[in-house]
Structure 1
Amino acid sequence: SPAGEVVVPGELLYRKPMLVIRGTFKPVTCVNIDMMLGGQKQFSQESAVDESEILSLAEITMNSLVSGDNIDGADFLARIDLLASQGYTVMISDYVRFFRLRAYLRRYTQKPIGIVLSVRDLEVLFDEKYYEGLEGGILEAFGKLFPDNTHVYVYPSRRHGAAEMVTLDNVPVPAHLRHLLTHLTENGKLVAIEPQDAGHLEIDSAETLAGLRRGHGPWENDVPAGVAQRIIERRLLGFDSE
Structure 2
Amino acid sequence: LGKTVLVSRFAEFHRLAAFLNRCTSKPVGIVLSIGLLNELFKAKWSENLAGGLLESFGRLFKSSLSLYVFPWANRRNGEIVTAESFIAPAEQRHLYRHFLDNGMIRSVPCPHPELLAYTSRDVKHLISEGDPKWREFVPEAAQEIAARRGAGV
TM-score (norm 2): 0.84
* 1:201 to 1:227, Cα distance in 2 relative to 1, 3 A: same
Aligned equivalents of 1:153, 1:231: Cα separation in 2: 24
Deviations 1:182-212 (A, max 9, x none): 1111122111221243332222121222222
Check 1:144–1:238 CA distance in 2 against 1; reply closer, same or farther (3 A cut).
closer
**1:57 — aligned with what?**
5
1:212 and 1:223 mapped to 2: Cα distance?
A: 10
Of 101, 123, 129, 2:44 maps to: 129
What runs of 5+ residues in structure 2 fail to find an aligned partner? none
Instruction: List aligned pairs for 1:75-154, cutoff 5 A.
Output: 95-154=10-69
- C-alpha deviation, 1:178, in angstroms: 0.2
Aligned to 1:210: 125
Q: Which residue of 2 aligns with 1:237?
A: 150
Tell me by how many angstroms 1:138 deviates: 0.6
Please say which structure displays the higher CA radius of gyration.
1
**Deviating 4+ runs (over 3 angstroms):** 225-232
Instruction: Show structure 1 runs of 5+ residues with no match.
Output: 1-39, 41-53, 62-94
Identity of matched residues, %: 32
Q: How many residues align?
A: 152
SS in 2 for 1:56: coil
> What CA RMSD, in Å, does the superposition of the two structures yield over aligned residues?
2.3
- The verdict on how the C-alpha distance between 1:105 and 1:170 changes in structure 2, with shifts beyond 3 A counting, is same
Q: CA deviation at 1:159?
A: 2.7
Paired AA for residue 107 in structure 1: R
Judging changes above 3 Å, is the alpha-carbon distance between structure 1 residues 204 and 148 closer, same or farther for their aligned structure 2 residues? same
Distance in 2, Cα, partners of 1:144 & 1:135: 12
The one-letter amino acid paired with 2:78 is A
Q: Report the TM-score, using the length of structure 1 for normalisation.
A: 0.56
Q: 1:182 to 1:208 in 2, by over 3 A?
A: same
Counterpart residue type for residue 209 of structure 1: K
